[in-house]
Chains A and B, each alone.
Chain A
Amino acid sequence: MQSRYTFGGDEHLFVECSDEMSLDAFFKSLSMAKGVRDSAIKGVTEICPANASFQIKFNPDIIKPDDILKEVKAIEGAAEKAEPVLKTRIVEIPVFYNDPWTHETLMRFRERHQEPSGTDLDYAARINDFASVDDFVTAHSGSPWFVSMVGFVAGLPFMYQMVERQRQIEVPKYLRPRTDTPRLTVGHGGCFGCIYSVRGAGGYQMFGITPMPIFDPTQTTSYLRDFMVFFRPGDIVKFKPIDRDAYDQAVEDVDKGAFYPPIREVTFDLRAFQKNIAGTNANLEGMLNGH
């Protein structure tokens, strides 16, 4: 996997590890981004890892573009040899699928959708060959997801489901982006799932909503007191379907400061995962449930 290097103006170096998405590309991008951080190259002001690429912002008054290019290229070899092992955490996120708020929003923007007569869930289930919306939800919540990028807006996770490629859910984005998306909508576009951290524009298909805030600039949410952004690249997410009563209860708990998502520290080895996807995922879920 040879990376492609290009400049974004005179202040950004853009490195694309692969033009298609895979966990190999994600691990290489994360490993290179970490290598750049560890090597503390002078003049680097920001390092932004993405799904299969990353971006460095630098100050060309301190380091010449050609010099930073050389330094980062030198890191690529080492990153490729790095063990694809990640010490990370798995977190369970409750999701109220087919909720009234995203439903109201998707109806309001129906004329921007590929299938104006149905819902986003109907559409996603059908084009991914599921017999019913329930089967689709079972697949969506049945296997864990990697947080492969944090961004777009404050703290929004892009997530890549940890299943064989032929089982991955793929949907197009809306024909024209919406101007409104409820906060904490669980969405999907291309092969990526996401949770909208704040209310605003969006183009992903909308499947449900979580009661669990993931960005809080006031830092008053119980589990966001240390930092206002919940997710980091490499986090593993398992969705848990909940009904309206459980959703209302969770919202109340969040407001009272009594909501704590189940989180466990885990080690993830990409090679072990690729040898045995179902077994690795079962282990991860076992750890989440305290086994």
Chain B
Amino acid sequence: MAIKVLHHGLSTTVQDLGRPGYFHLGIPIGGAMDRLAMRAANLLVGNEENAAGLEAVFMGPKMEFTKDALVAVTGADMPAKVDGVAQPGWTAFAVKAGQTLTFDFLKSGARIYIAIAGGIDVPVALGSRSTYPIGALGGFKGRALAAGDELPLGTANAGIAGRTVPEALRRMPGNPAELRVLPGLYWDRLTDDAKESFFADAWKVAPEADRMGYRFRGGRKLSFIDRTQPFGAGSDPSNIVDSCYPYGSIQVPGGTEPIILHRDAVSGGGYFMMGTVISADMDLIGQLQPHTPTRFIKVTMEEALEARTERAKLIAAIRQSLS
């Protein structure tokens, strides 16, 4: 055993880049909410980008190392400390056997990614080490970490302490956050006023925001075009015959509070969706704290694909800088 968990933080889970291929059975892709940060953390310590690390939200864990290791922490600004000595973020640092890793208070963002050379060596479940807590699947015994857990590490490649991701290549959401949305799905169920107000209004992240979905408040209630509800849908105008939910899709139960589905999303259900956050902006959502002001920006498919290309270039630049 290489790491002893002394305190679990708020909720710390084992995550990699996810478990594609089982959404048709209701098992979501999972994996890091902020995949760019997860990839960067792995690259910093010499791991494969898909190696398993830890995702901690709002509050870091406290962990004792039982052997020497190379560690990197990326994502939110929550400084790591080794035996009380602060370590730079987005930078590889050495931890010696017997030393303890702790974290300072969160300054910005929401989630940190802790990569350790060799990766967390929990068993692979359906092709991934990511934790899916509702299904008690993957990760460390299918659940978030708890004090007393002992995490095994894989075999480390050669890594160098001090390597860092240049600041220009780190990405976090702004304040207000801006999330680009491609309208679609059941968009045409909304009235013209609702289509306009959704993008015009200032929304805020609600307290109910987790790996399954992020809820938003503060904008005007959305109104629907009148119709007779189709058989099997349910009587509320926001109801549909239960269908699949795309990752990033925005459902608005009752027309009141938009919910963006994220990595641990339910795979389907009976609420209409008005559009989908583009793939390039999904990582940003996982770094939003409750109450963060957020604007939704309407984009076309062409703009979504351009943004995706930009995102891919950014990740390539991170790889380049660490190669």
Contacts and interface: CB of A to CB of B under 8 A. Distances in A.
A12 B247 contact: yes
Interface in A46-69: 46-55, 57, 60-61, 65
Contacts of B276: 7-9, 12
A118 interface: no
A46 B18 CA distance: 14
Contacts of A152: 26, 242, 266-269
B316 interface: no
Interface stretch (A77-85, A187-195, A262-270): A187-195
Given A9-B182, A10-B305, A172-B234, A154 B244 contact: no
Contacts, number: 179
Contacts of A45: 20-21
A178 interface: no
Contacts of B154: none
A173 interface: yes
A22 B127 CA distance: 35
A48 B182 contact: no
A9 B125 contact: no
B24 A20 contact: no
A198 interface: yes
Nearest to B267: A151
B135 A20 contact: no
A6 B20 contact: no
A7 to B, nearest CB: 5
Contacts of A228: 137
Contact of A57 (B23, B134, B305): B23
A: interface residue count bin: 35 or more
A71 B314 CA distance: 31
A205 to B, nearest CB: 12
Contacts of B109: none
A277 interface: no
Given A16-B243, A48-B24, A192-B242, A10 B278 contact: yes
A258 B187 CA distance: 50
Given A21-B241, A198-B135, A151 B279 contact: no
B140 interface: no
Interface string A106-150: 000000000000000000000000000000000000000000011
Interface string B233-269: 1111001111110111100000000000000001111
